[in-house]
Amino acid sequence: MDNSKVLDILKNYKSSSNKELTEVMDFLNGDFEKTKDLIVKLTYHLDTTEEAYNKVFEEYKKRVNNG
């Protein structure tokens, strides 16, 4: 289902058929699950990146302050 069809059904959901509503619900549920999965993966990535940065930064501070 393409985005324009989804938007059209969302605008006119009161007059849309049950089949169209079901298709849009399936589309939106799939989109929700994909988005949620991406957010979880990006959160782990962000945490890992922050940890790595902090380790390197602490080492850098030690070297600069002792140099």
Each residue's pLDDT tens digit in the chain (67 positions)? 899 999 999 999 999 999 999 999 999 999 999 999 999 999 999 999 999 999 999 999 999 998 5
Single pTM value for the model: 0.75
Q: How many other C-beta atoms can be found within 10 angstroms of the C-beta atom of residue 20? A: 17
Angle at 29 between CA 12 and CA 45, to 5 degrees: 130
- Domain assignment of residue 53, given as a range: 38-67
Count how many domains the chain has: 1
Asked whether residue 13 is assigned to any structural domain, the reply reads: no
Q: Which two tokens stand for residue 6?
A: 């989804």
Asked whether residue 21 is assigned to any structural domain, the reply reads: no
Give residues with Cβ within 8 angstroms of 10, minimum separation 6: 24
